[in-house]
Amino acid sequence: MEKDVTIYDIARLLQLSPATVSRALNDHPAINSNTKHMIASKAKEMGYRSNMFASNLRRQRTSTIGVIVPRLDSYFMSTVLAGMEKVANDANYNLIISQSLESVRKEIANAKTMFDSRVDGLLVSLAADTENLDHFNTFFQKGIPMILFDRIMPQKNCTNIVIDNVKAGYDATSHLIEQGCRRIMHMTGNIKRNVYEDRLKGYKLALTDHGLAVDDALVQLTNLTRQDGLQLADHIKHMASPPDGLFVANDFCAVSCMGALKANGLSIPGDIAVVGFNNDPVSQVIEPNLTTVHYPGQEMGEIAAQSLINHLNGLLRINTTNTILLNYELVVRASSLRTPPAESC
């Protein structure tokens, strides 16, 4: 447990002042480059590492970014975080990650912890039941920047990073229609959340655009759990006129539902064509493989982190930008593909 090397140690050995050492290590222009090299190599030799606390205390910043996500256990989220980590590391920022487990209560607690940890900025994807951003007011008041991604909510001075969920929902639904579906069911999550609300909007829009009626009995609002998937299959089984297409706002739930539908003797995509959302690896495990909407998590994470860091470094004001839309892609697989395209209008 030997003592840490400080800039004072380096200064003493090199007969310099700590100020010079500090400036040299921070590549300050007023320091002679020979001196810089000498200091840098000595520091390395002695195994010096900067004391972030002293530095943070003086600088009044932490080089730490807080991340709050609903859950960590999705393929999508893990790619997002990988992207954020990459960018943050490169820029010498640390990440503090916490999960709200889809509950505002926990989200509020997380926000408080982040605030007390004095993060320089915040990257947030909202919990299912978050209705307002009041718990982030302390951040807004102090001018601590915050970026919302994926699960967003309009907010002054706050950049949002998303895909166009309306359009994605529209495309998914249109695809089913093109495959000959005429009674398309949609199961989605809590429509307090933009992602689900928007996908629902897109779904409805696609129906009307193609001259199909919107039937509220065909829209199921659930929590998108495995259980919900099973229940939907059961529900479909007992419907007088069951749907011939199904658009589920989440792959995992779609897959569990597919299993139950098949068990009920329905053929997919023959009797009912299915489209999911997110391109979770599970979509390629189920038989038939699930058609789904892919969007790049890694990229979303990178962009979110980079935008925040640029803002912190004064390179980009995030309050002038406001929404960044990323591209998505409808990945057509067997669960929805009826060949040849049925055109039985």
Partner DNA sequence: TCTAACAAAGCAATCGGTTGCATAAAAATT
Partner DNA sequence: AATTTTTATGCAACCGATTGCTTTGTTAGA
103's CB contacts (< 8 A; 6+ apart) are 127, 128, 129
| Helix runs in 117-164, H state only | 137-142
User: If binding is defined by CB under 8 A, does position 140 make contact with a copy of itself?
Assistant: no
**Least distance between a copy of itself and beta carbon 213 (Å):** 32
User: If binding is defined by CB under 8 A, does position 81 make contact with a copy of itself?
Assistant: yes
For DNA, the binding residue among 12, 13, 45, 50 (CB under 7 A) is 50
66's CB contacts (< 8 A; 6+ apart) are 95, 96, 98, 114, 117, 119, 121, 122, 123
Which residues, numbered 147-206, are part of the site for a copy of itself (CB under 8 A)? none
User: If binding is defined by CB under 7 A, does position 44 make contact with DNA?
Assistant: no
For DNA, the binding residue among 12, 13, 41, 59 (CB under 7 A) is 59
**Least distance between DNA and beta carbon 52 (Å):** 8
Of 12-20, 73-81, 108-116, 190-198: span binding DNA (CB under 7 A): 12-20
Q: Which two tokens stand for residue 144?
A: 């601590």
User: If binding is defined by CB under 8 A, does position 223 make contact with a copy of itself?
Assistant: no
For a copy of itself, the binding residue among 91, 104, 108, 109 (CB under 8 A) is 109
What Cα–Cα distance (Å) separates residue 210 from each residue in 109, 150, 203, 241, 310? 46, 28, 11, 20, 44
> Which entry of a copy of itself, DNA, none binds 7, CB below 5 to 8 A by partner kind?
DNA
> Which entry of DNA, a copy of itself, none binds 216, CB below 5 to 8 A by partner kind?
none
- Residue 301 φ/ψ region, left for φ over 0, alpha for ψ in the -120 to 50 degree band, beta for the rest: alpha
Q: Which is nearer to DNA, 27 or 234 (CB)?
A: 27
**Nearest in space to 338 (alpha carbons), one of 285, 254, 264, 274:** 274
User: If binding is defined by CB under 7 A, does position 8 make contact with DNA?
Assistant: yes
Q: Is 68 helix (H, G, I), strand (E, B) or coil?
A: strand
**Nearest in space to 165 (alpha carbons), one of 150, 179, 146:** 150
**β pairing state of 273-275 and 245-248:** parallel
Q: Which is nearer to DNA, 42 or 204 (CB)?
A: 42
Instruction: Point out which residues bind DNA (CB under 7 A).
Output: 3-4, 6-8, 15-20, 22-23, 25-26, 30-33, 35, 48, 50-51, 54-55, 57-60
